[in-house]
Structure 1
Amino acid sequence: MTDGLVSWSVARRAAREAADSLPVVSVPLAAAVGAVLAEPLVATTALPPADAAHVDGWAVSGPGPWDVVPGPVDHLGDGCAVEVSAGGVLPFGADSVLRADHALVLDEGRTGRLHVGDPASGRLAPHAGYVEPGSDVRPRGEEAAAGEMLLQAGGVVTPAVTALAAAAGLDTLPVVRPPDVAIVVPEKGRDALGPMLPGWIAWAGGRAFPPVRVLGGLDELVDTIDDANSDVIVVTGATSTSDDVHRAVARLSGRWVVDGVAVRPGTASSLAVLPDGRRVVSLPEAPLGAVAGVLTLLVPLLAVLRGELGADESRTEECVLAADVPPGLVDSEGWVRLVPVQRRRTSLVPSATPLPHDGPAALRGIALADGLAVVAHGAGARGTGVLVLPLP
């Protein structure tokens, strides 16, 4: 496998080019969170759909003092007031909102009378019955008119986006279907990758199935990959000398897009495409090597499948090394090293401090790290710039 190594940057580009966006589906708002919006979000109604309160306080009609009426009400008579919350629809007849911290209710009747004043001291304002017309009122359509585009396609749907969609009169959203990912773990003793990968896949925008452990040999591995009802199959446990995954892909008539990467750790990371379009990502058995393979191949692949083009690039950050990167075990010319770092943002340019325990089989380094620095051959001196890939 080592004869076909490609550079780290070429491997990431090949992973992006090995996929297209998955089909568009319409899903309920809650189910759309985390997916990519496939079509522009357009308001079906004005926002707000009616005049609304800008702040907590009292909706008032005409000059005061005002008679307090219990709410909610659809119509507010002249000289009356009803309590409202920020964002609440104002009743017909209300012409302004008196802020709660400027409102003073005095017991001058069965339900009280509302004045302009200081509720803390009980003092009335010089003009205790006057509020500027339109004060703290959000007019109908202030945020958007019916038919106006609120968001362009291509962004990730957040909880706030679903709230905006609901306010705009929508119950569903068109999104790119998130990719389904099967995880296959050949049994080789204590498994550290099976518990880790579902969280990484979710962070990258995929939907991970529970890991499947293969206890037998090549035949069982072939059957497990062949039976996986997913867009991507992640197989762990690859080494530079092991060819079980290669034999399995060959028996399934797949082709290798990336057959090893000139990176340390993560050299054995590979990507194949099966005849039916499913992708197989083979990850090294060493934990840090597997993480390197996830960031090198799986993250850009899932980004394209879920319709978030360029997402893996936009997450990167330019940093300055706060210390020298320790020499690696292998310093082959042209190879990239991925080094666990912790970032600090105490200046305009964030700094990245290399962490110990950065060997391929080490877990402490990545457990403490918030990113992997991409260190080119011959680089890694303190004060030099590096690209940092974020960790979840």
Structure 2
Amino acid sequence: MHWADARQAARDAVKPLEAVELPLADALGMALASPVRALVALPGYDNSAMDGYAVAGTGPWTVVGAVRAGGVPHPSPLRPGTAVEIATGAPVPPGTRAVLPVEHAVHKGRRVAGTVPDGKHVRRRGEDCPEGRELLATATTVTAAGLGAAAQAGHDTLLVHRRPRVAVVVTGDELETSGRPRPGRVRDAIGPMLPGLLRAAGAEEHGLLCRSLPIRLQPRRKRVPTSRSAAARIRLLPVGLVTWLADRPDGLTAALTEGDADVVVVCGATSAGPADHLRGVLQALRADVRVNGVACRPGHPQLLAVLLDGRCVVGLPGNPFAALAAGLTLLAPLLATLGGHRVPAPLTARLTGPVTPHHQDTKLVAVTRSGSTATPTGHDRPGSLWGAALADALAVIPPEWDGGEAELLPLPS
């Protein structure tokens, strides 16, 4: 499948998850399931934008009182030729023509003088936003500023789509999970990499708890039971929620059928070798395979399937950089759609270094951005994350690329 078609297939495979109402602080990074409207006018009353004097008529003015933010409003309208000392944010009395800033005021006993245009430094009720106006649209990702805007408009909770729950399974008899790998073995890099990718996509890690592969979760590490048969099938990450499986189909079948995650990500087992069981397991489970290989480099042997119960399986290659490229190709748009997020506008840049397009596949090239340009980092062979670790984006180079601007996929920071 063409790279762009594969990404669209990932978006089309799912719909946003159900909506939940959460306190403001818990909604950060989630997508709105309904618009946020102003419950009150902003500002809610006529108030001063400066410390100074609320004045009526022309000066000089006799000071007849003082008003503080949060204090008691002035009891009566201002008469021409009078003023009240006022603090920023305090309600201006009816009849106020303008606010004379304190630094521009000339004091003469109980009188002040100065020049200020009509309406200056007075914030009128509703001039920023009238009551009922839509502040944030559905599918907007809630930012820190968005939380503040919602609170300012009178909200204590927000209706958002819940985060997708994702279980990560890394397969491979050759993998080591700590220290220096022994001869003939390799240190796993995908397990430590994926949680950051999931969080950046708005998902949450979800531990894999299967009846046929019982797991006991302890404070600092997860352990398999003492059963020799179970221990032969599964190896687990010392700290975290990533699960390691040996290259056998039975553990993979259990991981796909007995968990309750919305998405199961299987790393490795996606190619056509004797130890690659994912396609056979999906066929036995009668899964609907929506993407079965993508014409991109690295990351060709990736797949997307939908199980009979509607949960999704994303298969990533076993090479680390290929897994990252596939994660941004299929997994990221799938999770964004599940979370209810809108598709962002493409980010583009002009590449400053030499890049040769592939004759038929889309190339994903690690680059660093600087303004409107991007420079390849190199060191981006499928089995190495060195180049990606130096980069902040992957440049998308289609076969027909003519050397102009290229789309960029930002890498999670």
Q: Which TM class, normalised by the smaller chain length?
A: 0.7 to 0.9
Tell me the residue number matched to 1:124: none
> Who is 2:361 aligned against?
335
2-structure distance, mates of 1:43, 1:177: 23
Distance 1:336 1:82, change over 3 A: same
Asked if the contact 1:81–1:114 (Cα under 8 Å) also holds between the matched residues in 2, the reply is no
Give the aligned partner of residue 347 of structure 2: 317
Which amino acid letter does the alignment assign opposite residue 205 of structure 1? G
2:315 is aligned to 282
Gaps spanning 5+ residues in structure 2: where? 177-186, 207-239
- Contact preservation (8 Å) 2:67, 2:73: no
Structure 1 SS opposite 2:395: strand
In the aligned structure 2, how far is the partner of 1:98 from the partner of 1:272?
67
Structure 2 CA distance for aligned equivalents of residues 344 and 156 of structure 1: 25
Instruction: Note the residue ranges of structure 1 that are not aligned, 5 or more in a row.
Output: 1-5, 116-126
Percent of aligned positions that are identical: 39
Match of 1:344 in 2: 370
Q: Deviations over 1:21-63 (max 9, x none)?
A: 2112222222222122222222222111111222x41353546
The 3-state SS of whatever aligns with 2:308 is coil
Answering whether residue 153 of structure 2 is matched by residue 168 of structure 1, we say yes
One of 224, 228, 248 as aligned partner of 2:255: 224
Equivalent residue number for residue 381 of structure 2: 359
Task: Give the drift of 1:150.
Answer: 2.7
Separation (CA, whole Å) in 2 of partners of 1:158 and 1:223: 38
CA offset at residue 208 of structure 1?
2.7
Structure 2 Cα separation of the partners of residues 68 and 105 of structure 1: 15
1:157 to 138, 142, 145: 142
Q: 1:68 to 1:92 in 2, by over 3 A?
A: closer
Q: TM-score, normalised on structure 1? A: 0.81
- TM superposition shift of 1:19: 0.7
Aligned residues between the structures: 354
Once residues 133 and 377 of structure 1 are traced to their aligned partners in structure 2, the CA distance between those partners, rounded to angstroms, is 63
1:258 equivalent in alignment to 2:291 = yes
CA displacement, residues 298-355 of structure 1 (integer Å, 9 cap, x when unaligned): 12212221222423xx2x323322122168xxx5x4211111112222xxxx222222
Question: 1:136–1:269: structure 2 CA closer, same or farther, 3 Å change rule?
Answer: same
- Deviation string 1:242-275 (CA, Å, 9 cap, x unpaired) is 4222233334332211111121100111111111
- Tell me, yes or no, if structure 1 residue 385 matches structure 2 residue 405: yes
Q: Does 2:36 match 1:28? A: no
Amino acid at match of 1:322: T
- Secondary structure at 1:169's aligned position in 2? coil
Instruction: Assess, with a 3 A threshold, how the Cα gap between structure 1 residues 255 and 137 changes in structure 2: closer, same or farther.
Output: same
- The one of 197, 208, 212 equivalent to 2:242 is 212
Q: Is the 8 A contact 1:67 1:114 kept in 2?
A: no
Partner amino acid for 2:311? R
Match of 1:156, SS state, is coil
Q: Distance in 2 between matches of 1:334 and 1:260?
A: 14
CA RMSD, aligned part only? 2.7
Distance in structure 2 (CA, Å) of the matches to 1:143 and 1:388: 36
SS of residue matched to 2:7: helix
| Structure 1 counterpart of 2:170 | 185
Given that 1:61 and 1:93 are in contact with CA atoms closer than 8 Å, whether structure 2 keeps it comes out as no
CA distance in 2, matches of 1:357, 1:105: 70
Report Cα offsets for 1:139-159 as digits up to 9, x if no partner: 111122222233332222222
One-letter amino acid of the counterpart of residue 160, structure 2: V
Could you tell me which of 14, 18, 21 is aligned with 2:13?
18
Alignment of 1:237-252 (within 5 A): 237-240=268-271, 241=273, 242-252=275-285
Alpha-carbon separation, structure 1, partners of 2:303 and 2:196? 21
Aligned position for 1:120: none
| Letter of the structure 2 residue corresponding to residue 351 of structure 1 | T
Letter of the aligned partner of 1:177 in structure 2? Answer: R
Change (3 A) 1:376 1:135: closer
**Matches of 1:97 and 1:139, distance apart in 2:** 12
Conserved in 1, the CA contact under 8 Å of 2:63 and 2:111?
yes
Quick check: 361-370 or 143-152, which moved more? Answer: 143-152
Q: Segments of 4+ in structure 1 off by > 6 A?
A: none
One-letter amino acid of the counterpart of residue 259, structure 2: A
Q: Structure 1's 11 and 374: CA in aligned 2 closer, same or farther, altered over 3 A?
A: same
